[in-house]
Structure 1
């Protein structure tokens, strides 16, 4: 069995192993990390040898920590990362490069249709009828998108939203409210087979699926990092938030994961604070201490037009994993339009948590 895991902010850990009589055998840890002293690697392999195959990642990490020589130095490597790599090997997880990725980047669409497309496309990936997909959104209208479990009245000032012509929709994933304006945010979705995140905890899957965009931002001169549970941040505060939804495959089999991210390019903070009911403490934690400014980290930190930022992100993904231009099929669009009408555009769904 073979497993790979890139430690967030670190290096690649590769594990090869066998399972015999319910325990790990012939464990070999490798990678492009730095480790001192040399004999520490033998200690790591020995600690994992004969570990029960059902040991979780934390238990595997504890076995490693218990045998490391005194004054061991790990750079780009953690015992937790080793544990995750082992679990991914045992789960027979796939890698990004195992797939033929498809890009969808089409004309602006309504907020309700975007919600529906996420559900339809991820369902298609779960059924094996669509390849893993990166979809970059374009917004036709300003919107507030609330999380699946948020209270509508607690999160949104409906009168202010109506005054500014802002549509309020509810998505299928959890997390917090997002305020978007056409041309002032960058939103993308990843619809991926569940096998890509096998062996990862829920939290680790966020970091894993965000790794490519951190690299893309780095190529544009932005030092960004994953901030648990679901944020991307820089020294100047939060610049993006992610959310996920698991969709079960046909017959209850392996399914797919929807991972979508909204990044702030240049937001009208005054208007956002009129429409969203955000407490002062939460606002300060997101790097937005004053309403009398624009929330513009990507515009300010890159100095690039929004379209150029998107293009560089797409090309970074393409360079890492390959990416073929595609489109929403006629059948997918028809199903999404029906869902937008009957579900995501309905008052019943939007106010399902009043």
Structure 2
């Protein structure tokens, strides 16, 4: 079994392993990381050999840490990252490059239709009728608050935010914890930001931050496949391009402590726009993000099919435009 894991902010770890009699055998760890001294890599392999196959990533990391020679130096590598790569191998997880990725980036839509499209496209990926999809949002004329399961509120304002969704097969995040799946699905955009001169990092559980403040928030929803089979994951990210902090505080519900003068100043400072950090037009930032994704994994231009569009329109009308949904407070 073969597993790969790109450590967020680090290097690629590759593991080949067999599972015989409920234990790990023939473990071989490789990658583009730096590990010193030379014998440390063989110590990692020996530490994993014979481990129970159901050992979690943290347990595997503990075995590695106990076996490493004194003074071992790791760069771009962590013991837990190796453990995650092992778990992904055993779970038969796929890699980004195993798929033919499709880009959908169409004109402005209403908030209800955007949410409906996310739901429909992710269900299509789960059913195997659509390839993994990166979809860019373009907003209409209204400022709205966006929310999704697994994330807090993010202020989405047309023209002033960059919002995208990833609809991916569940196999892509197999072997990852819920928290690790956020970091894994955000890693490509950290690279894209780095190419624009922004040093950004994943901040648990669902934020992307720089030393100037938070620039993005993510949310996820898991979709079960047909007949209870393998499903898909919707990973949604909203990035602050040129956000109006005063308007954000008017729209979002925040606690009494944050409503104090000190709290308001702190809330404004926490969100720092990409426009100031890059000096680039919003369209240029989006274009560079798309190019970076394509350079890494390949990306072809696609579109929403007529059937997907019809289903999304119905869902937007019956679910996402209903008072039951729009007035719901999570």
Q: 1:38 to 1:288 in 2, by over 3 A?
A: farther
- How far 1:291 moved relative to its partner? 7.5
Cα deviation, 1:201-231, whole Å, max 9, x if unaligned, reads 0000000000000000000000100000000
Mapped partners of 1:270, 1:349: distance in 2: 26
**Partners of 2:213 and 2:269 within 8 A in 1:** no
- Whether 2:59 is the aligned partner of 1:59: answer yes
Partner residue, 2:18? 18
Mapped partners of 1:261, 1:55: distance in 2: 32
**Partners of 2:100 and 2:131 within 8 A in 1:** yes
Q: Pick the aligned partner of 1:298 from 274, 277, 280.
A: 274
Once structures 1 and 2 are overlaid, which stretch shifts more, 265-274 or 306-315? Answer: 265-274
Partner residue, 2:322? 346
Partner residue, 1:216? 192
- How far 1:144 moved relative to its partner? 2.8
- How far 1:36 moved relative to its partner? 1.1
| Secondary structure of residue in 2 paired with 1:60 | helix
| Secondary structure of residue in 1 paired with 2:3 | strand
Mapped partners of 1:282, 1:11: distance in 2: 38
- How far 1:351 moved relative to its partner? 2.8
Mapped partners of 1:282, 1:297: distance in 2: 20
Q: Pick the aligned partner of 2:160 from 171, 184, 192.
A: 184
Mapped partners of 1:242, 1:225: distance in 2: 13
Partner residue, 1:318? 294
Unaligned runs of 5+ in 2: none
Cα deviation, 1:156-211, whole Å, max 9, x if unaligned, reads xxxxxxxxxxxxxxx4x232112121110000000000000000000000000000
Structural mapping, 1:46-85, within 5 Å: 46-85=46-85
**Partners of 1:17 and 1:25 within 8 A in 2:** yes
Structural mapping, 1:272-291, within 5 Å: 272-279=248-255, 289=265
Mapped partners of 1:218, 1:41: distance in 2: 29
Q: 1:15 to 1:294 in 2, by over 3 A?
A: closer
Q: 1:105 to 1:16 in 2, by over 3 A?
A: same
Partner residue, 1:103? 103
Mapped partners of 1:125, 1:175: distance in 2: 22
Unaligned runs of 5+ in 1: 148-170
Structural mapping, 1:88-237, within 5 Å: 88-147=88-147, 171=148, 173-237=149-213
Instruction: Give TM-score, length-normalised by structure 1.
Output: 0.89
Structural mapping, 1:31-50, within 5 Å: 31-50=31-50
| Secondary structure of residue in 2 paired with 1:289 | helix
Q: How many residues align?
A: 328
Partner residue, 1:160? none
Cα deviation, 1:208-267, whole Å, max 9, x if unaligned, reads 000000000000000100000000000011000000000000000000000010000011
Instruction: Give TM-score, length-normalised by structure 2.
Output: 0.95
